[in-house]
């Protein structure tokens, strides 16, 4: 339930990567054509799989961050 409310998952297409972004909104890693990407509906950004999973583990059912990381990092 949380994932469907907080993220829209899709495959990175050429149109998305050209029009919107080609980097993850959290770690700034490259997003490539055909990658599974996740649109964060709370922060209006595309995320890679790794960052989406990290963010999801810190969120409650209302897409609110409830668990802050002790040592946050930009890298997956």
Its pTM stands at 0.80
Report residue 14: phi and psi, to 5°.
-60, -40
- pLDDT tens digit sequence for 17-60: 988 879 999 999 999 999 999 999 989 999 999 999 999 888 88
CA dist 67 → 27, 36, 42, 57, 63 (Å): 18, 25, 16, 8, 12
Residue 1 tokens, joined = 């339930």
Q: How confident is the model at residue 65 (pLDDT cuts 50, 70, 90)?
A: confident
Is-contact 33 14, C-beta < 8 A?
A: yes
**Separation CA 24–CA 39 (nearest Å):** 10
Q: Is the pLDDT of residue 4 over 90?
A: no
List the domain boundaries for the chain: 2-56
């Amino acid at each position: 339930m949380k994932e469907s409310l907080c993220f829209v998952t899709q495959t990175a297409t050429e149109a998305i990567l050209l029009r919107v972004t080609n980097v993850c909104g959290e770690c700034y890693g490259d997003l490539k054509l055909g990658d599974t990407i996740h649109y964060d509906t709370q922060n209006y950004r595309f995320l890679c799989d790794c960052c989406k999973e990290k963010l999801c583990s810190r969120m409650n059912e209302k897409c609110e961050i409830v668990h802050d990381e002790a040592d946050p990092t930009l890298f997956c």
